[in-house]
Structure formats: C-alpha cells, structure tokens
Amino acid sequence: MRIVNRAHLPWFLFVVFATLIASWLYLGNFEPEDLPRELQLPDSLVQKPSEHRSVGGTPLGLIFGTISLSIFVFAALLGVRKKLVLWRVGTVQRWLRAHIWLTLLTIPLVIFHSGFRLGGPMTTLLVALYIIVMVSGIYGLTLQHYMPTIMMERLPAESVYEQIPHIRAQLVAAAQKMRDAFKPATAEKPDAGAPALSVEKVATAGAASMASTAADVATPTARAKSVVGSTITAEPVVSPAPAKVETKVPPPPRPPEVKPPETMGTPTARVPEAAPIPAGTEKVTGVAPPAVVPQSVSPPTPIPPNEPPKATPPVTVTARPVPPAKAAPPTDADSEAALLDFLDRQVIPYLLLNRGDKHRLGKARFSQDTFRFVKLRITEAYRDRVEEMEAWCEERRMLDMQAKLHHWMHGWLFIHAPISFLLLLLTFWHAYVTLFYY
C-alpha cells in the first residue's frame, strides 16, 4: 500500500495534531518548567498529585495506556475485517489506512505512558515486543510501497499467485510430452489373455512365401513348406551332393582377316576401280618447287674457362595452409538424440524443482549460453523446439521470481501477526495487574 497518496493526508495531519496535544499534556503535568509561560496548561487539565511513583499509574498515564490498548484491539480486528467481505463497516482500504496511522500514533502514547522508563521485567518484555511489532510493521509497509514497482519492472507478465503451482505442472507436462515424442515407438506386445493357436492352425495357416522359398534356396524350411498351406514333413531333409562342374576349353581365336590398306580421307579411296578420275585430282607436272636459300648460322659463344657458372637462384615454394576439415553437419537422428538427452538431463529436472533458482538454468545468463550451444548441435528443423524449451525455462524463472517477491512482500507477516497477538494478550494482563494489584 502506497503511503504517498492524498487519501493518507487527513490521517497524517490527525496523527501530528494528536502527538502535539499528547506532548503538551505530558509536559504540562510532569515537566511544566520546560514549557513557556504562554503554553502552560490551565488548572482544569493539571492532574492532582498522585502517590504513584511511575507515570503509568497516574490518571494521565492511564489515559495514555487505555488509548494505546484500544488502538491495539482495533489493529487486531483488521484481519477479521478482511475475512468478512460483506461487512459494511468501512472498506478494507479505510481500515488499512486507519490501522497504519493509529498504530504510529501509539509510539508517543506508549513512551508517555511509560514515562521514558522500562520499569520491571514485565514492562521491559512488553516494550521489547512492541518494538518488534512496530519495526516489522514499518518494514512491511516499506516493502508494499516499493515492491509493486519492482514487480512491474522485472515481471513482464504477472500471474495469479495461487495459480503458480498449476502453471508449473503444465510446463512439466509439456516437456514430458516433447520427450515422449522424441523416443522411438516400442513394439506392441501380444495380448496375454488371447488364446494360443494350435499346432495344426499354425502349420496350415496361409502365409506369403518366404524369400528363401521364392529364390529356391536349399534350406530345410523352404523344402518342408509349400507356398501356401503345406504341412511339415517329418522326414529329415538331406542336402543334395554338389554336382560336378565340367570345364570347357574355349576355342582358339580366329586370325583377323587381312584387308588391303585403304587410304581414308582421299577421293580415290572412295572411287571404285575403272571409274573416271574426277577433275582436279590428276597429277601436276612441270611445276618446280621454290628454291630454299640456306642461311648462315653464327657459332655459339664460348664460355671463358676462369668464369664460374652462374648459380640459379633457389626457388622458394610456399606451402599453403591446409584448411581444417569441416565437421559433418548433424543429422535429424543426431538432433533428436541431443534434444532428448538435454530434456532428460537439464530441462525436466529444472522444471520439477521446488526452488528453481538453485539450478543452473535458473540463472538467465547461463540459460542463454546453454540454449545457444544446443542450437549449434542440431539442424535447422529443430530450432523451434529449442526455442520452445527456452520459453518454458524463462517462464519458470519468471514464476520463481514472482514467488520470491511475493514471499518477501508477505513474509514479514509471519513475524508481525503472531507477536502482535502476543503483545495484545500481555497488554491485557499488564492492565489487569496494574488496576487491581497496584
């Protein structure tokens, strides 16, 4: 519940005014010399001298104590008002605002009632319990002021707290369903209650011919059965003796026929004998080839004997680096095996934990690195499955964060509420002893 709200302003002004009035009455009765002359109490408000040595036993001290006890009772009735929803005595929000500000008003009232002293063991115990109740209440009020803002920043989608166990069970069921989809289907077992077939029905049952029978393979089963509906013979089947294989000598190769060479690619090769020679193929006579003039060739240059031969520069051969062999891409079977192992070892155990923040997948950075590595080990067709697993783990982290913040926001009540009732009971006992025994 937010304190910085206009609805709390009237209560704030009331507490400040009541604190000033209580301080004025206390100083005017027990420390009149500390007040200026203009602020002195009238004679009607000054109590008569009392025989009690403590302030709590005086009339003004008893008034402070009675008002404090009444506020304690009203504060304890807040739990009853929350359960009685149809009770039309103010709204729950108004009761809560009154609970906050009136209990803050008890701080000066209790201090004035005790006279700034602890007293005996009973009053010391009451003061200690009162301090625990007030500190836990202020702590819870601060959490309820800042925790909604933190939850809005860290939780993009908030769920109903009572539905968190049901949502977690749905995540586990979805992960187990995916795991079962990756597992191979098991062979169906025969019905144990069905009657067994007789020997004759089994022997005479019509069935397709075996591969060995169709191929005429010499096996006992193939010879004992016919193609359809044969009975098993009791005579033993003796495998036939292997037949002798006659080796035939191949005939000698025939000599190739010798044909006169034929000039391919010339017209005469394709012209039959006694046929006229076509034009352009007769022999050319009377034409001399051109004369070839010999050219002089210079002799080679001799090498001086004293000059050493020139050494040829060495040839440097740079070896190219051999690229590393690429790993074979994963197949669908490898991908399913990797996802099945990841589900069994990481995802399902994490979703089954009561406190997921202790698991490695409960940490956002580790979870992101893990799922990035899993995506590298599988094919592209299974990326959507990995993203679905990552969404489950992220939702589980959000549920754990919401449960943790909810425990922080409401856990202080396990200290505040029981000690408040204990303080109320001891305060009644303190009032009874003070009124009737002192």
Do 36 and 111 fall within a single domain? yes
Q: pLDDT band at residue 225, thresholds of 50, 70 and 90?
A: very low
* Residue 209 resides in a domain: no
Residue 433 pLDDT > 70: yes
Beta-carbon contacts of residue 3 (< 8 Å; ≥ 6 apart): 100, 141, 145
Do 431 and 336 fall within a single domain? no
Phi, psi of 329 (to 5 degrees): -65, 145
Do 46 and 135 fall within a single domain? yes
* Residue 169 resides in a domain: no
Do 372 and 385 fall within a single domain? yes
Between 295 and 226, the more confident residue is 295
Report the 10 Å Cβ neighbour count for 423. 20
Do 58 and 129 fall within a single domain? yes
pLDDT value at position 54? 79
pLDDT value at position 154? 82
pLDDT value at position 38? 87
Highest-confidence segment of 14-28, 43-57, 355-369? 14-28
pLDDT value at position 104? 95
Total domain count for the chain? 2
The answer to whether the pTM exceeds 0.85 is no
What the block records as the tokens of 101 is: 């500000």
Look at residues 138, 61, 60, 143 and name the one whose alpha carbon lies nearest to residue 101: 138
* Residue 318 resides in a domain: no
Cα torsion through 11, 17, 21, 27, rounded to 10: 110
Give first-to-last CA distance, the chain, whole Å: 42
pLDDT, mean over the chain: 76
* Residue 236 resides in a domain: no
Do 127 and 83 fall within a single domain? yes
Do 405 and 424 fall within a single domain? no
Residue 293 pLDDT > 90: no
pLDDT value at position 118? 85
Do 136 and 83 fall within a single domain? yes
Q: What is the mean pLDDT of residues 166-190?
A: 81
pLDDT value at position 226? 39
Do 31 and 72 fall within a single domain? yes
* Residue 295 resides in a domain: no
The DSSP output letter for 380 is G
Between 289 and 114, the more confident residue is 114
Query: What gap in Å lies between CA 426 and CA 419, rounded to an integer?
Result: 10
Q: Write out the residue range of the structural domain in which residue 67 sits.
A: 6-155+413-437
Q: pLDDT band at residue 233, thresholds of 50, 70 and 90?
A: very low
* Residue 262 resides in a domain: no
Distances in Å between the Cα of 342 and the Cα atoms of 66, 183, 339, 346 are: 67, 13, 5, 6
* Residue 420 resides in a domain: yes
Do 355 and 422 fall within a single domain? no
Look at residues 172, 167, 181, 180 and name the one whose alpha carbon lies nearest to residue 349: 172
Residue 83 pLDDT > 90: no
Do 341 and 403 fall within a single domain? yes
3-state secondary structure of 388: helix
Beta-carbon contacts of residue 106 (< 8 Å; ≥ 6 apart): 68, 71, 72
Do 346 and 421 fall within a single domain? no
* Residue 170 resides in a domain: no
The answer to whether the beta carbons of residues 281 and 268 sit under 8 Å apart is yes
